[in-house]
Amino acid sequence: MKLKQAIKTLNEKGYLDIPVPKDINLVAEINQLRKEKNAVILAHYYQVPEIQDIADFVGDSLALAQAAAKTKADIILFAGVHFMAETAKILNPEKKVLLPDLLAGCSLAESAPKDQFEAFKKQHPDHVVVSYVNTSADIKALTDIVCTSSNAEKIINSIPKHKKIIFAPDKNLGAYLIKKTGRDMLLWDGACEVHEEFSLDKILQLKAKHPEAKLIAHPESRDYILNIADYIGSTSGLLKYVQESDAKEFIIATESGILHKMAQVAPNKILIPAPPENDETSCACAECPYMKRNTLEKIYLALKYELPEVKVEEALRQKALVSIERMLKLS
Residue 211 CB, nearest distance to ligand 13P (Å)? 28
| Cβ distance to ligand 13P smaller for residue 96 or 218 | 218
- Kindly tell me which residue out of 288, 296, 303, 310 binds ligand SF4, with binding defined by CB under 6 A: 288
Residue 73 CB, nearest distance to ligand SF4 (Å)? 23
d(CA 313, CA 278): 39
CA angle 287, 299, 39 (to 5 degrees): 125
d(CA 258, CA 48): 9
Region binding ligand 13P by CB under 6 A among candidate stretches 110-118, 148-156, 241-249, 323-331: 148-156
Contact between residue 97 and residue 85 where contact means Cβ atoms under 8 Å apart: yes
Instruction: Calculate the alpha carbon distances from 231 to 34, 37, 214 in Å.
Output: 38, 42, 8
- Kindly tell me which residue out of 42, 43, 52, 61 binds ligand 13P, with binding defined by CB under 6 A: 61
| Cβ distance to ligand 13P smaller for residue 33 or 84 | 84
Residue closest to 255 by CA, chosen among 208, 175, 212, 192:
192
- Kindly tell me which residue out of 63, 75, 88, 108 binds ligand SF4, with binding defined by CB under 6 A: 108
- What are the residues whose beta carbons fall under 8 Å from the beta carbon of 14, sequence distance 6 or more? 101, 102, 103, 104, 293, 308
- Kindly tell me which residue out of 92, 199, 234, 294 binds ligand 13P, with binding defined by CB under 6 A: 234
- Kindly tell me which residue out of 41, 60, 188, 196 binds ligand 13P, with binding defined by CB under 6 A: 60
- What are the residues whose beta carbons fall under 8 Å from the beta carbon of 192, sequence distance 6 or more? 106, 107, 108, 134, 170, 172, 220
Residue 220 CB, nearest distance to ligand SF4 (Å)? 6
d(CA 262, CA 241): 10
Q: Is 217 in the site for ligand SF4 (CB under 6 A)?
A: no
Among positions 178-207, residues that touch ligand 13P (CB under 6 A) are: 192
Q: Is 287 in the site for ligand 13P (CB under 6 A)?
A: no
Among positions 161-200, residues that touch ligand SF4 (CB under 6 A) are: 192-195
Among positions 226-285, residues that touch ligand SF4 (CB under 6 A) are: 255
Instruction: Calculate the alpha carbon distances from 182 to 81, 150, 178, 191 in Å.
Output: 32, 18, 5, 21
Residue 276 CB, nearest distance to ligand 13P (Å)? 14
Residue closest to 293 by CA, chosen among 57, 12, 81, 39:
81
Q: Is 107 in the site for ligand SF4 (CB under 6 A)?
A: yes
Residue 87 CB, nearest distance to ligand 13P (Å)? 11
Residue 235 CB, nearest distance to ligand SF4 (Å)? 9
Q: Is 85 in the site for ligand SF4 (CB under 6 A)?
A: no
d(CA 161, CA 147): 18
| Cβ distance to ligand 13P smaller for residue 52 or 61 | 61
- What are the residues whose beta carbons fall under 8 Å from the beta carbon of 121, sequence distance 6 or more? 127, 129, 142, 166
Give the interface with ligand SF4 as residue ranges (CB under 6 A).
Answer: 81, 106-108, 134, 192-195, 255, 288, 290-291
